[in-house]
Amino acid sequence: MESCVFYLSLPASKPPDPEFSALTSKLIPSGVSPWGLIRCDDIYRDRDGEAPIDIVAVHGLSGHPVRSYYCQGHFWLRDSLHWSGLAGANVYSFGYPSGNSIMSAARDLIVSLDNERRYGERLNLDVPIAFLAHGTGGLIVKQALILLNSYQEKSDTRILSNTRSLLFFGVPHRGYADSVLDYMPWIRPVKGIEEEYTPQSKQVRAMLEGFASISNRFRIHTFINTIKASTWPASSLQLGDFRTYYMGLPNEELIYSNTEYFAMLKLAHNSAEYNKVVSILRRIPRASDLGSESAWHLGQQFRLDEPESESGKLWFRDLRSDAHRVVNRRPMDRSSKIAILDSGIDLGHSSFQEAVDEDHIVAKSFVEGLPGDQDSDGHGTHTAHLTLKVAPNSTLFIARVIEHGSIVEFDNNKSAIVEAIKWAIEERVDIISMSFGYRAEVPEIKAALRKAFHKGIILIAAASNSGVNPRFPISFPANMRQVICMHSTDGYGNPSPRNPSAIPDCNLGILGEAVAAAWPRQLDIAREASLRAAGDTPDAAARPRGSRTMQKDHSRVASGTSVAAPIAAGIAALILEYASQASAQKHDSVVQRWGMSRA
């Protein structure tokens, strides 16, 4: 790659580049400020359909929204990405004046990006975001994400939850040395700004700590330059400063860039450095990949129609022959009461007939216009049957809080979940099972769950199904201290590949791989009718080996932590039922989050 020199100000003797001037005039018309968000791909081509990803570039201190990415007559943000497997991407460049504070620029970035995502060519507000940031631009991006996480700023298009990857190029996470600040004369006279770059200042430390607390949400790629800067005398910028640029986070990837510091984002098409960046962008899940994602499934779909695992069958066989035998050999004072917050239940399914006859299922809807004893999604019926298979003597309190479990529904139905938790408290349930999760904390749900916890209710929630992916850490409410966080395993106890990374107090796992349970009759009937209409016959030969016959018993096989959570709720019920046969003191010690997690 030919080296491209970045000048703080172009020498007067150097003639202007006519191609650059023409490009800049198209992107930034005369009389329009270069600061703010600039759409880089509008002048290049028309796009149809949904954008797969938003790419936002933020230049360094005293940089320029066009010049910082321009080299050899080539503006790669506009000219190359379309031909590099990123067709249809929304590409932006954010500009800011060097005299602005990081806080001010961060707020401007949030507002301008939110406005573009809200009013631009949008079919889906959940389009993923990747930030490419050089130098101070990385500090601005970090500050923006911190502001969003702390609710000091609001984003109607969910900038924080949609941010997938952060590509940092020479970002001074620990501030600039004095030798560097001496060569930035425009900083020192501006009150308060120098403090944002001084090592060990309160602002620098606060940003480091604030970002570390949310960093596991993202994939972080840190680039460090390896070529000495010929035009910049400040020694700490001549070669990549490892201690300054690398944060050392568990999910941070270190990448060496064979460039000078100021040329790190001046990328020639198909150069080695360009291909490093593009390969990262290609790996980011696109909006189309997330179209069916819901809060039930958290990053990967709740898998259906896979063969039922033999290890899972053995697990249930051992449960019946061992645990059920032990629990049932003595009379119980009472059965456990379990609240399941989900999509309802197909109460007419044959699997629930005995429980219905014995009045062991109570169903209530918290969604207007939807009955509690029906299920138009299937998830609630599946989880309810799993719990009943594990704890057949328990009484289920089914709270229908959602219809299909889309992200939009969960955003709109937070109050329904709160009311369902209050109902569970009023019914004096022992356990609340939640096979759903949010990417961010919901204060009103958190308050309701804390109240339930202090009433002695055991809270169990699915961890998430995102795999070892920093973009999707353990979800809320499973990440609450008062909630038992459940991971998924196979029947032999081996962790599922889609489990998130374990963290302290969130390492419990139970069967969740390829488990069969009841499925709403009307959903299978409708599915069979659609298959016949399409010319496919849903006979035994068409089903995966080991799957259950839909026409006879209407069951499906599924995997994930949302399968593990209701099974764990059943195990907790068995423990309570066994403990009820012992002393009251032992029972009280078990009915606690910590006691149950160690039982």
- Kindly report the backbone phi and psi dihedral angles of residue 358, in degrees, each rounded to the nearest multiple of 5, phi listed first: -95, 10
Residue ranges per domain, the chain? 32-283, 303-345+377-517+558-597
Task: Please tell me the predicted confidence (pLDDT) of residue 348.
Answer: 92
Residue environment code for 409-432, b if the CB has 16+ CB neighbours within 10 A, otherwise e: bbeebbebbbbbbebbbeeebbbb
- Residue 294: phi, psi to the nearest 5? -140, 170
What pLDDT does 288 receive? 45
Which string of DSSP letters, residue by residue, matches 162-199?
HEEEEEEES--TT---HHHHTT-TTTTTSTTTGGGTST
Low-confidence ranges of the chain (pLDDT < 50): 1-15, 42-50, 123, 186-191, 234-238, 287-303, 305, 468-470, 529-531, 533-552, 584-585, 594
Distance CA 330, CA 320 (A): 16
Which pLDDT belongs to residue 3?
A: 36
Domains 32-283 and 303-345+377-517+558-597 are alike in CATH topology? yes
Q: What is the pLDDT of residue 587?
A: 52
Q: Are 491 and 319 in contact (CB under 8 A)?
A: no
**CATH number given to 32-283:** 3.40.50.1820
Structure confidence at residue 123 (pLDDT): 47
CA distance 11 to 594: 68
**Helix H or strand E segment including 205:** helix 202-212
Q: Are 27 and 69 in contact (CB under 8 A)?
A: no
pTM of the model: 0.52
DSSP string, 532-584: HHTT----GGGSPTTPPPHHHH-EEEEESHHHHHHHHHHHHHHHHHHHTTS-H
Provide the pLDDT for residue 48.
45
Fold of the domain spanning 303-345+377-517+558-597: Rossmann fold (3.40.50)
Q: Are 171 and 249 in contact (CB under 8 A)?
A: no
Residue 356 buriedness (CB in 10 A; 0-12 / 13-18 / 19+)? middle
